[in-house]
Structure formats: structure tokens, C-alpha cells
């Protein structure tokens, strides 16, 4: 008999996510320590869109820990990384916060929604709830979150951002 995800997280065991998460058009690949070093040093790789990494992607690179499947990932469309997605750390009490962003050229094409849906599918499998903080005036991101099932509004954080959560499926 195996414990369910709730029991696993309650006992201190943190479930892992797959190293590669993919969808119809995307691959979500963990940012490696070498990638993070390049991002932080301002070095560009050929497999990155010319506008990647953005400032938020570089900030995410500071959270890279080898072997942490909950950390930041490149959002790869075709052959190029066009953004990042990931959690701000492993889950605590069955929940963690997610963040994402794309270069301007990749926006408005459903890429953020597809990336978040792919990640959500995996977090659902291990019984982990996601929450996200978003500026109230960022209508595109609020739409992405709502489309991906972030229906629980928890008010705002100290930065005035809306805190939205996604209940686990029944």
C-alpha cells in the first residue's frame, strides 16, 4: 500500500516532478546550474530567444538548486527558450507558489496557458496545490490563471498583488 500525496507531504516527504514536462508545443526543462550561471553573468546561449532571459528569468535563476524538480524551468517553444516557469520552492503543507513569464514575442499565442496547464497536470498528480501572485492590472496573466483553474482569490499580498490559488481536483 502506498501513501497518498497528502500523507507524503505531511510526513516531510516532498514528491518530485518529472525532469521533463511537455505539452503539444512546449518542453519545460529545469534550468541547470550552468544555465543559471550564464543567465546571472549576462551570457547568452544559442538555444535561447534573443530577448531571453528577461529580468524575471534572471531572478528565477537565483533559485536554481541541482536536483530540485520544483525550481525554475525554461519554457522551450520549438528550439528556443522563450520564458521561464517554476515554483518558488518545494511545497510546504501541500502547496507552493508558481511564477512564469515570457519574452514579448511569445505572448498572446497561448504559450503561458499551455506551460501552466502542463505544470498543473503534474502537480495535480502528486497532490500539490498551486498559488500565484499577480498584479491586478496584469489582465493577461489573470486570464491565464483563471483559464488554468486558479479560482480561489485569497486577497492581496504585501506588494498589492492578487493571490490566486488553484484547488486540487476532486
Give CA–CA dist 64/4, Å, rounded. 28
Q: What is the pTM of this model?
A: 0.91
SS3 for 101? strand
Q: How confident is the model at residue 13 (pLDDT cuts 50, 70, 90)?
A: confident
**Residue 12, pLDDT score:** 67
For strands 95-102 and 129-134, give the pairing: parallel
Complete domains list, the chain, with CATH: 5-166 (3.40.630.30)
pLDDT digit string (tens) for 114-139?
A: 999 999 999 999 999 999 999 999 99
- The sign one gets for the Cα dihedral 117, 119, 123, 129 is negative
Q: How confident is the model at residue 4 (pLDDT cuts 50, 70, 90)?
A: very low
Give CA–CA dist 89/33, Å, rounded. 16
Lowest mean pLDDT among 9-23, 45-59, 121-135: 9-23
Amino acid at each position: 500500500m502506498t501513501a497518498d500525496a497528502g500523507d507524503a507531504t505531511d510526513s516531510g516527504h516532498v514528491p518530485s516532478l518529472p525532469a521533463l514536462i511537455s505539452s503539444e508545443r512546449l518542453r519545460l526543462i529545469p534550468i541547470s546550474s550552468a544555465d543559471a550561471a550564464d543567465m546571472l553573468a549576462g551570457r547568452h546561449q544559442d538555444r535561447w530567444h534573443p530577448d531571453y532571459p528577461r529580468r524575471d528569468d534572471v531572478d528565477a535563476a537565483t533559485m536554481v538548486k541541482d536536483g530540485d524538480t520544483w525550481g525554475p524551468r525554461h519554457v522551450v517553444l520549438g528550439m528556443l527558450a522563450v520564458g521561464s516557469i517554476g515554483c518558488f520552492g518545494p511545497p510546504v503543507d501541500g502547496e507552493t507558489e508558481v511564477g512564469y513569464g515570457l519574452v514579448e514575442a511569445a505572448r498572446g499565442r497561448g504559450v503561458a496557458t499551455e506551460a501552466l496547464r502542463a505544470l498543473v497536470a503534474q502537480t495535480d498528480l502528486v497532490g500539490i496545490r498551486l498559488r500565484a501572485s499577480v498584479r491586478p492590472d496584469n489582465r493577461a496573466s489573470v486570464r491565464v490563471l483563471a483559464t488554468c483553474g486558479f479560482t480561489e482569490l485569497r486577497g492581496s499580498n504585501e506588494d498589492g498583488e492578487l493571490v490566486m490559488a488553484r484547488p486540487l481536483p476532486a
